[in-house]
């Protein structure tokens, strides 16, 4: 079950997990775990990711079609 859309948003924007990791000051392994839904980021981290990617927080959680 997918609990977040981080990987999909990164792919849509052509952004690497490595770049995101540097922007939010997390390790690549942590960002990869978020992207693969092995670990879920806390709300503060999710908000930080949304800001860095210039997307609405909701876009990291659900597809627009599902809203």
Quote the pLDDT of residue 62.
Answer: 80
1 pLDDT more than 90: no
> What are φ and ψ of residue 40, in 5° steps?
-105, 135
pTM of the full predicted structure? Answer: 0.90
The domains of the chain, with CATH numbers, are 6-58 (1.10.260.40)
Q: Using CA atoms, how far apart are residues 40 and 14, in angstroms rounded to an integer? A: 22
The number of angstroms, rounded, from the C-alpha of 1 to the middle of its chain's C-alpha atoms is 16
Provide the pLDDT confidence category of residue 54 given band limits of 50, 70 and 90. Answer: very high
Contacts of 6 (CB under 8 A, 6+ apart): 20, 31, 34, 35, 41, 49, 60
pLDDT tens across 33-45, in order?
Answer: 999 999 999 999 9
């Amino acid at each position: 079950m997918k609990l977040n859309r981080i990987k999909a948003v990164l792919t849509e924007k052509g952004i690497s997990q490595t770049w995101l990791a540097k922007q939010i000051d997390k390790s690549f392994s942590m960002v990869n775990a978020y992207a693969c839904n092995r670990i879920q980021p806390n709300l503060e981290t999710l908000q930080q990711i949304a800001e860095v990617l210039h997307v609405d927080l909701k876009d990291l959680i659900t597809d627009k079609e599902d809203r």
